[in-house]
Amino acid sequence: MSRKALDELKQQVPLLDYVQAHDWQPARRIAGGRLMGLCPLHSDHKPSFLLDPNKNLFYCYGCGRGGDVIRFAELYHQVRFPQAVALLREWCGLAPLLDQVIDFYRIQLFRHRDAVSYLQDRGLRSSEVIEQMRIGYAPGRCLRAWLTQLGYPASALQQAGLVNREGNDAFTHRIVFPLAGNLYGRSIRGSTPHLFLPGSKGGLYGWEQVRRYPEVILVEGLFDYAVLWQAGFHNVTCSMGNHLNARQFQQLCDATRTVYLVFDSDANQSGQQAAQWMSRRLWAQGVTARRVSLPDAHDPNSFFVQGGDAHQFQRLLEAAHP
Ligand SMILES: [Zn+2]
C-alpha cells in the first residue's frame, strides 16, 4: 500500500470515531480540544489515555504507547500492520452502514407486536435494557429496499452480508443485537436460531463498561446478559457462545479480577464442560475463576424468566466454586 493510500485511509477513519466505536468514552476534555479517558489498551484505573482528535493521534501515560489509528488498531486487535490496515478498510465501509441498519431495526421493533412479545417471553420487560443494548428487530423483506433508497449499492449490501445472493434480507424474523463491527440475530421462530454477519464476533460484549469491575460475570448468551443487567448485575459480559475467541480470553486476563462463569446447565453437560475448561485456563493465567451452578436444565435467562430473582442469583454467585 502506498504512502498516499495510507494517508487517505487515516483520513477516512478518524481516530476518535474508531475508538468510540470500540466502546471508549472520554472522561474529560483538556486544552486544545484533546480528550482524556481510560486506556483501552491496558487495565487503567485513572484516565491516562490522551486522544487528540485534530491530529488523529493518541498517547497513553500509563502504558506508554501511542500513535495513529493504524497503530491503535494493531495494539487493540493484537494484529500486525497489514491486518490492521485491512481491518480499518473494512471498518470504514461497514460502520456507517451498520449504524443505519441498527437505527432501522430499532424502529421496526416497536412496529412488530410479535417481536415485542417475544422479548417479554424472554424476560426483557424494561425499555431501559432494550435501549441500553440497542435491541432491534429485522422483519425481513424491507431492509434492502430502504438501504437502496438511501443510495447503498446492492454489491455493498451483499458484501456486508446484509443481503444474500438471491437479493433478500439476510436477517428475517430476528431480534437483532448490535455488536462492535457485527450484528447478532436471534430468530423468534426457532429455525436456525443464530446468525452473525460474516467476520469476527469481536471481543466480549460491552467490555469497556465492565472491565473496571473487580468481579465480572460471564454468560454465554445475550438474553442471559439482558436479564442479569435488568436485575441489576451491571458487571455482566457475554461471550456469545461457550467458546471464547483469543481476544475475549485475553480481555478476561488483562487485570486482576474474579470471573464468575455462568454457562448453561444443559443435559449434555457441554456448558459445564466448557466452564470447567475455561476455569482451568483462567487460573493458569492468574485469574480467579468461579463456576456458578444453575438448577438443572437452566441457563441464566430461564432462571430469571421462571421466577428467579436477584437475591437468589446472588446466593448462587456466593456458592460458586473454583
Ligand atoms: Zn495504556
Tell me the per-residue pLDDT of 19-41, one tens digit each, with 9 for 90 and over.
988 878 889 999 998 999 999 99
Rounded Cα distance between 236 and 304, Å, is 15
The rounded Å distance from CA 29 to ligand 1 centre is: 18
% of the chain residues with pLDDT over 90: 67
The rounded Å distance from CA 80 to ligand 1 centre is: 18
Which has more pLDDT, 175 or 192? 175
Return the SS3 of 281.
helix
Rounded Cα distance between 49 and 105, Å, is 34
HSE-up of residue 157 (Cα within 13 Å, Cβ side): 25
DSSP tag of 294: P
* pTM to 2 decimal places: 0.80
The rounded Å distance from CA 246 to ligand 1 centre is: 20
Q: Show the cell assigned to 105.
A: 431495526
The rounded Å distance from CA 52 to ligand 1 centre is: 15
HSE-up of residue 23 (Cα within 13 Å, Cβ side): 20
Confidence at residue 108, expressed as pLDDT on a 0 to 100 scale: 97
Given a cut of 90, is residue 203 above it in pLDDT?
no
Q: Show the cell assigned to 98.
A: 451498520
| Domains in the chain with CATH codes | 3-77 (3.90.580.10), 93-196 (3.90.980.10), 207-318 (3.40.1360.10)
The rounded Å distance from CA 254 to ligand 1 centre is: 12
In this structure, the strands spanning 26-30 and 174-179 are: unpaired
Rounded Cα distance between 295 and 303, Å, is 8
What residues does 288 pair with on adjacent strands?
258
Least Cα distance to 211 among 259, 265, 282, 266 occurs for 259
The rounded Å distance from CA 58 to ligand 1 centre is: 10
**pLDDT grade for 190, boundaries at 50, 70 and 90:** confident
**pLDDT grade for 194, boundaries at 50, 70 and 90:** confident
